Amino acid sequence: MSTFLTDHQYGKQSVRLVHVDRGADRHRLCDLTVDVTLTGDMADSYHSGDNSKVLATDSQKNTVYAFARQFGVANPEALGLRLARHFVDSQPAVSRARVGLVWHGWQPTDDCHSFRRVGAEHRTVTITHDGERSWLVGGVSGLTLLKTTGSEFRGYPRDPYTTLPEAADRLLATTVQARWRYASAEPDAAWDDDFRSARSALIDAFASTHSRSLQQTLHAMACGVLDAVPSIVEVRLALPNKHHLLVDLTAFQLDNPAAVYVATEEPYGLIEGTVARTGAGDPGLAWW
């Protein structure tokens, strides 16, 4: 039988890193999960078990910790860029490195040295470096939004299997999964400010757009990010429709004027889309 290896990659996943910056007046806590994925001239390891070009995943894990100590963790973008470039520059066999980081939020309490965990929402960052160019993709996951009015869904095709009634005013909820591609990956860019602006733009557009469909809302949210952050050239969104259904209370001789709902988990609609600036160019490996 004739075969060939079409693709390969490997790395260390779910490296848990907690970094404490012990400032004189207030401590700063950074809680990250880091994924490292490497690819390159390592086919011999698959073909014959020759590991002479394989950087051990344990070494990758240790590099994450060592870099956190040497350079600190100002933000996930800066740490990810350092790591991705290091793996390519230091290992001749590695032609491409991808570092994904999830920032787990903590907020200080009134005490300057204690914190509380912030829900299911996470800041996300993915950096890809191929030795010549770096691509940086930021994002947010788990951002749950809901509006109690200003949303409708009407005018859709009706076929023999359609039972859904048209809604002139409905409750709309979603959990945002957003990723955005930056035009460049400069180490000194204002990543924290850009993230805050992009997140605020998503929330503002969701709230202010009179939604005739979740698709329309998605487009408005993506355009809001592009308007708010000039350094972002492309936005990808996945918006599950978190259905809230009116409860039928007629069996209890009660009306229900859009007051009592049941929140359902499954099944759900999933709306996805990408909006890019005109002339943004080919993302290449940006989404790899």
The reply to whether 128 belongs to the active site is no
Amino acid residing at 28: R
Rounded Cα–Cα distance for residues 140 and 237 (Å): 10
Q: 284 — phi, psi (to 5°)? A: 60, -120
- Pairwise CA distance, residues 242 & 176, whole Å: 11
Contact 87, 98 (CB under 8 A): no
Active-site residue identified among 53, 57, 86, 244: 57
Q: Among the options 12, 61, 104, 242, which is catalytic?
A: 12
Q: How far apart are CA 233 and CA 180, in angstroms?
A: 7
Cα separation, 209 vs 82, whole angstroms: 39
Distance between CA atoms of residues 255 and 121, nearest Å: 36
Tokens of 172: 């709309």
Tell me which of 129, 147, 219, 243 is the catalytic residue: 243
243 is catalytic: yes
Please list, in sequence order, all residues whose beta carbon lies within 8 angstroms of the beta carbon of residue 4, skipping any fewer than 6 positions away. none
| 172-182/134-147 β-pairing | antiparallel
DSSP line for 29-80? EEEEEEEEEEEES-HHHHHT---TT---HHHHHHHHHHHHHHH--S-HHHHH
| Phi, psi torsion values for 218, nearest 5 degrees | -55, -45
User: Active-site positions?
Assistant: 12, 57, 243
